[in-house]
Structure 1
């Protein structure tokens, strides 16, 4: 096997002792090998194989994720630069990340729970997904810094003029009732943070990000293999443990990227009458493919209760839309959140 990349990393494990490790990538007859060797207490320790396979992209995904895990544990490369360009943060972005880091360690849990309860109630009243009102990250920030005025509320990352105007009084009714020992502006936060724990936290965020990317990459591969094997949506669901809707979202991505997904479309539309398929196609021609609901209403009526249920109909609409977009490339549509 030919080693094409190697780097050494070290980790402080005590007052003076250090653990050393090597990260390496090798190639042999078209197969990529990615591994880690720890030279800590046992210098004869064997390699831990992180990846063996023919996909460069998947190997790279595993590399990023596993390296983020190790750097989150405190390992640092002796040859600087590896991974650095993807983790370095500066300026305003760094300030906001430090605010987030501090909030995760110093939030008021009672206030956070009260804010979550407010979000549930408000999202129910407005028929919106809770995350559209406020993310968990924003609620953590609010619970840690406890703004007491609109001016202070606007200093919290994620709160803009519109959100402050619409929800500010309700949020402040929760945050201003709690005691706080700090002040605004929040320029003091950076001085309270130790750099090494903060750096490890940043790598943990990268670990989460790369894990999602790797899972998505593996799902794409599983779906392509399943489609080639003649699987339908239900079989793909059993293979991947993802929902049918999540699978369809990735199938749309695959089609957009030029992969062949027609066998799946043909299988899923076998029981759909040709006249019904034509009606859906014509609705896309008339209304465009930006949203699914107008097409549903056009074909099935505004009080649609089609046989098989709305979920199955939406699946078919999306599958036909894949074909429609392929034949009308450049329409520039997006997937409606239903």
Structure 2
């Protein structure tokens, strides 16, 4: 195997330096990504990836590297990431407050705030994150503001949020001791740089894990379509719901992937006259909303032998073809 990239990393743990190597190799048109640890003269290899997809290798590389760096490893040669861009967040001060709150927060108070948020979201009929994000609740639980002025020193608390929920938050705070004073300038001195860097890489790890999961899901869907699998088979393979899969099909079709084989299989049970009526409804009403098309084609009656959810699935699948046809005509014109 020919090694095309290698970098040495190290971390100090209990006065002992641990050495590792990150490497990428190529052999017989296959890519290999690995991690090698050295201790007491012994080498232990871990293979992260073997295959022919450079794109998949890079997704795994970013995720695994962020994981190792969040655990304290640092490279001998910089440039594994674009540090100039990635390691300088837009709000340096705000990010340090977030870091401190996640590392040294009051878990009991955080749980109380989460309970309050669930109840408030239910009573206001809002999604919980519209009431307050996890990060904001972490900040409140870590710094325990006792006045409105202190509360508004926290990133994410503006006049509107303070006016809407501030008094309820302060009432919750009244039962907890404020062990850390305001203003919060002391955080930037107390928080260790190594802690902060590891926390930043933990954020990267989470970000790249989401990107990797998204890539693997798309891979399963594309492979399933290529193999001629049904919608249900691809659902089982990818872990997506049927609605999520159809929404992804819309995106893939826009990106130029061939979705016709799967659409042919799923729409084979739908009479051609019914498909034509749906197509004509899109031409007349547009393709932005499904309900007007549903009412135009079926009136107030649900088609026989199918649930309303199945009808909407077929409307979405015909819309994929309709939009592609419309875009093609526009480009030709």
- Shorter-chain TM-score: what band? 0.7 to 0.9
Secondary structure, aligned partner of 1:100: helix
1:49 aligned to 2:47? Answer: yes
Structure-2 separation of matches of 1:157 and 1:23: 37
Between 56-65 and 135-144, report the one with greater CA deviation.
Answer: 135-144
Structure-1 separation of matches of 2:325 and 2:149: 52
| Structure 2 length-normalised TM | 0.85
**Where do 5+ consecutive residues of structure 2 fail to align?**
329-333
| Aligned CA distance change for structure 1 residues 151 and 326 (closer, same or farther; 3 Å) | farther
Secondary structure, aligned partner of 1:328: helix
* Per-residue deviation, residues 179-233 of structure 1 (Å, max 9, x unmatched): 3123333322222211112211221221111111111111111111111111122
Structure-1 separation of matches of 2:140 and 2:299: 44
Contact 2:38 2:44 in 1 (8 A): no
Contact 1:306 1:313 in 2 (8 A): no
| Aligned CA distance change for structure 1 residues 35 and 253 (closer, same or farther; 3 Å) | same
CA displacement at 1:246 relative to structure 2? 3.0
Structure-2 separation of matches of 1:298 and 1:117: 45
Contact 1:300 1:306 in 2 (8 A): no
**Where do 5+ consecutive residues of structure 1 fail to align?**
331-338
57, 60, 63: which one aligns with 1:62: 60
Match of 2:35 in 1: 36
Structure-2 separation of matches of 1:121 and 1:323: 44
Structure-2 separation of matches of 1:239 and 1:66: 24
Contact 2:89 2:95 in 1 (8 A): no
| Aligned CA distance change for structure 1 residues 4 and 146 (closer, same or farther; 3 Å) | same
70, 74, 80: which one aligns with 1:82: 80
Who wins on radius of gyration, i.e. which is larger?
Answer: 2
1:96 aligned to 2:109? Answer: no
Contact 1:34 1:50 in 2 (8 A): yes
246, 250, 254: which one aligns with 1:248: 246
| Aligned CA distance change for structure 1 residues 117 and 296 (closer, same or farther; 3 Å) | farther
Structure-2 separation of matches of 1:298 and 1:28: 59
Between 265-274 and 6-15, report the one with greater CA deviation.
Answer: 265-274
* Per-residue deviation, residues 130-187 of structure 1 (Å, max 9, x unmatched): 2233222222222222334444444333334443344344444334553312333332
| Aligned CA distance change for structure 1 residues 71 and 276 (closer, same or farther; 3 Å) | same
Contact 1:227 1:263 in 2 (8 A): yes
Structure-2 separation of matches of 1:116 and 1:302: 43
- How many pairs align? 328
Structure-2 separation of matches of 1:164 and 1:274: 57
| Aligned CA distance change for structure 1 residues 51 and 173 (closer, same or farther; 3 Å) | same
Contact 1:38 1:47 in 2 (8 A): yes
Structure-1 separation of matches of 2:287 and 2:150: 43
| Aligned CA distance change for structure 1 residues 157 and 244 (closer, same or farther; 3 Å) | farther
| Structure 1 length-normalised TM | 0.84
Match of 1:257 in 2: 255
145, 148, 170: which one aligns with 1:147: 145
| Aligned CA distance change for structure 1 residues 36 and 108 (closer, same or farther; 3 Å) | closer
Match of 1:336 in 2: none
| Aligned CA distance change for structure 1 residues 148 and 320 (closer, same or farther; 3 Å) | farther
